[in-house]
A = this chain, B = another copy of it.
Amino acid sequence: MAHQLRSIQTRARIIGAAVEQFIRFGYEATSVDEICIAANVSKGAFYHHFPSKQALFLALLQDWVQELEQSLTAICQEIEWVPQRFERMADRLQQVLEQAAGQAPMFLEFWYQATKDPTAWGASVEPYQRFRSIFARWIEEGNQQGSLKAVDPDVAAATLVSLGVGLVLQVALEHQGLDWGTIPRAAVKLLLEGMSTAQAQAER
């Protein structure tokens, strides 16, 4: 048990140190040696957790996407009224954005690797397709329950995902240019306004 906890802790320390190095020096310029020094772990410990630098990078991405998907599942189970689900999702987006502020190099690295390597693409771009399917299902459900108009679910889902991705990129690049504090929630609300039925708007 103590051993397992220590192992989880070491893995987290390696990931934390790697993120820092990637942000400061970029993915390409960072070596496994440097990550080990920054994390204060042996190379043996590193390779016990990750077969390669790329494997670490993909694990980092997967952790992040998995966390997001888990919150969407939880939101879906907890909340039935679809406009409220999207509002809760906007709260979650707000947290992502707070973490993203100033982290542009990391996000750009994710996307850049995705253009060069199919595995990285699968981990960093393919999830958008899953998010779109989840949102499209929610939108259909909203239409059935009378909270959302009969908008095209695929178009509306693609719009929501693009808005989310755009906000992440903007906040990552421009964290000092604008007070992003309430903008994500307000942006999602604005978009929902166009999709909501009169009934849903009255219930606000």
Say whether A177 contacts B129, CB under 8 Å: yes
Of chain B, the residue at the smallest CB distance from A116 is: B105
Is A193 part of the binding interface, using a Cβ–Cβ cutoff of 8 Å? Answer: yes
List, in ascending order, chain B residues with CB within 8 A of A195's CB. 190, 193-194
Q: Roughly how many angstroms separate A174 CA and B127 CA in the complex, as a whole number?
A: 11
Q: Roughly how many angstroms separate A191 CA and B162 CA in the complex, as a whole number?
A: 12
Say whether A158 contacts B173, CB under 8 Å: no
Question: Among residues 150 to 204 in chain A, which have CB atoms less than 8 Å away from a CB atom of chain B?
Answer: 151-152, 155-156, 158-159, 161-167, 169-170, 173-174, 177-178, 180, 182-183, 186-187, 190-195
Q: Roughly how many angstroms separate A151 CA and B183 CA in the complex, as a whole number?
A: 12
Is A114 part of the binding interface, using a Cβ–Cβ cutoff of 8 Å? Answer: yes
Number of interface residues of A (CB under 8 A): 41
Chain A interface helix/strand/loop/mixed: helix
Q: Roughly how many angstroms separate A162 CA and B169 CA in the complex, as a whole number?
A: 8
Is A101 part of the binding interface, using a Cβ–Cβ cutoff of 8 Å? Answer: no
Q: Roughly how many angstroms separate A180 CA and B155 CA in the complex, as a whole number?
A: 9
Binding site for B on A (CB under 8 A): 104-105, 108, 111-112, 114-115, 125, 128-129, 132, 151-152, 155-156, 158-159, 161-167, 169-170, 173-174, 177-178, 180, 182-183, 186-187, 190-195
